[in-house]
Amino acid sequence: MKEQFAIIEIAPGAVRGSVFNAPGERAASAAEHFPQAGGRKDALSRLVSALQGGPGGGALKEALFLSFSPALLSIRVVDVPLEDREKINGILPFELAGSLPSDAEDFVFDNLPLGNGRAIAVCIEKAFLRECLSELNGLGLDPRWAGPAAFAAPALVERLSKEGGYAALVTPEFFSVSEGGRLVFLNAYNGADSLRLNIELLSSGGVTIDRAYPIGFGLGATAPAMPDIEIREGNLPEGMEEMAAIYALSLKVRGRRLPGSAPDLRRGEFEYTKEKSAARKKLKTTIFLCALISILGISDLYMRYLAASDELASYRSALRSAYLGLFPGEGGAPDELYQMEVKMKLLHDEARVLGGVRPAEVMRKLAATAPKEAGIVINELHVGEERISAKGEAASFEAANGLKDALSRSGAFNEVLVTDLKAKAGGGAVFTLSLKEGVE
């Protein structure tokens, strides 16, 4: 079965979307326009109805990606002394504070590191993002990603030509430059003068564009702004000229997912949690069933010991009842114990895929060791081959350090480190633990 997915893009005065059978393989497209003063909600409703009524319409509920036109975002190249994406996100509110229309705390930030101390930063107003997600939720849709599809422009340029050098993709809404499949520059622009200014800015920084692909207007429309650049024709599938960013993003989707490097504005309070919640629920069920089946297996060993006694028949009956209670749809089994052993193996295999019972054991140790009055809450846990990392909250800095000392003394863990200890909005502290399991 094809893993279909859908992309919806919100732009000034327009919403558009496509359903894809595979990367770059469009199944259906639609677009709706609305007055600048309002009407986006109704336009989204019409768009969703049109897409759901076409081929692959079910993909909107199963795998939807939400794009925003660069014209609705704040995008700029920033100089940062860091290379790690999350650490860059931590300083962006301070780097961009003076250039935003309101307080930095009113925005969601993400970035694409470029290397050499530079990154492309993108941010969106929380109120606007909340409105758009709410309108889609009202239509029964929950996008698994939200961000500018235009960040995928290099994939489209590579599809058009694999020549070397700097190549520009120019649409009526944005201007991007890439080299060898790597994004170098992205921004919205307004008219030929704005486009020319962007090109001059790049040239002053040592980026000389070799060729440009205008999409969505005639070849000559951009020529006055790019007199020294070779203009090439950008051939897209029929009807996709207005959806160049959507088509580009579709080329990056694999297995209904985008690469982790794609800037995602669904973070913090807007994080997509549907899959995480389902995985946690399944893991809890698996651990419970593994424990229950283990208990039943031990019970059967005792039954074998009493095999010569008159009680054997009643114990067999109890095992049969327990088996039917656990697996009511399977009817009676000739050998309930054998069937339980088979199912235990399957459940243990599934537990390994989901992370196994080891994370649950680590959580048990952490909970048993943490001081009761410290207000310790563990939010994330990663159990690796060598080390364990955990992110959590504490009532205070002292409580977080107290947890470190308690873990070190317990013997259950060693090499206990507390990193990224910082204040939490509203009081308390957040921290990251790095530790190894000890030998009990």
| pLDDT given for residue 283 in this prediction | 54
Output the pLDDT for position 363: 77
Query: How does DSSP assign 296-353, residue by residue?
Result: HHHHHHHHHHTTTSTTHHHHHHHHHHHHHHH-GGG---S-HHHHHHHHHHHHHHHHHH
CA distance linking residue 417 with residue 434, whole number of Å: 5
H or E element that contains 93: helix 85-95
Give 424 or 298, the one with higher predicted confidence.
424
Question: At residue 389, does pLDDT exceed 80?
Answer: yes
- Compare 311 and 148 and report the one with higher pLDDT: 148
Residues in the chain: 440
Of 40-44, 139-143, 175-179, 228-232, the one with minimum mean pLDDT is 228-232
pLDDT at residue 404 above 90? Answer: no
Q: pLDDT digits over 267-289, tens only?
A: 999 999 875 544 455 555 555 56
Q: Give the integer Cα–Cα distance in Å for 258 and 207.
A: 28
- Report, as an integer, the average pLDDT of 255-268: 91
Residue with the larger pLDDT of the pair 374 and 307:
374
pLDDT tops 60 at residue 256: yes
The Cα–Cα gap between 257 and 268 comes to 19
pLDDT of residue 291: 61
Secondary structure of 351-411 in HEC code, one letter for each residue:
HHHHCCCHHHHHHHHHHHHCCHHHCCEEEEEEECCCCEEEEEEECCHHHHHHHHHHHHHHC
**Strand, helix or coil at 175?**
strand
pLDDT at 38 over 60: yes
- Residue 208, pLDDT score: 94
Q: Which domains does the chain have, with CATH numbers?
A: 276-354 (no CATH), 358-437 (3.30.1360.100)
What's the mean per-residue pLDDT of the chain? 85
- Residue 424 has a CB neighbour count (10 Å cut-off) of 13
Alpha-carbon torsion (149, 151, 155, 156), positive or negative? positive
List CB contacts of 113: < 8 A, sequence separation 6 or more. 83, 84, 85, 88, 119
Cα distances (angstroms) measured from residue 383 to each of 80, 225, 391, 420, 434:
31, 54, 12, 18, 10
CA-nearest of 424, 433, 432, 428 to 374 is 428
Instruction: Please tell me what DSSP assigns to residue 127.
Output: H
User: Is the model's pLDDT at 437 over the cut of 60?
Assistant: yes
Give, as one character, the DSSP assignment of residue 257.
Answer: B
Query: Which residue's structure tokens are 């859908």?
Result: 6
Q: In what order do the strands lie in the sheet with 74-79?
A: 74-79, 118-125, 107-115
Q: Residue 286 in 3-state DSSP?
A: helix
Lowest mean pLDDT among 33-37, 86-90, 328-332, 352-356: 352-356
Flag whether the pTM goes above 0.85: no
- Cβ neighbours of residue 251 closer than 8 Å, sequence gap 6 or more: 23, 24, 152, 155, 156, 159
pLDDT band of 184, cuts 50, 70, 90: very high
pLDDT single digits (tens) 88-137: 999 999 999 888 989 999 999 999 999 889 999 999 999 999 999 999 99
Identify the three-state secondary structure at position 437.
strand
Q: pLDDT tier at 338 (50, 70, 90 boundaries)?
A: confident
> How confident is the model at residue 287, as a pLDDT?
58
> What is the mean pLDDT of the segment spanning 175-180?
96
Tens digits of residue pLDDT in 136-168 = 999 999 999 999 999 999 999 999 999 999 999
Nearest residue to 8 (alpha-carbon basis) of 44, 53, 57, 56: 44
- Bigger pLDDT: 371 vs 19: 19
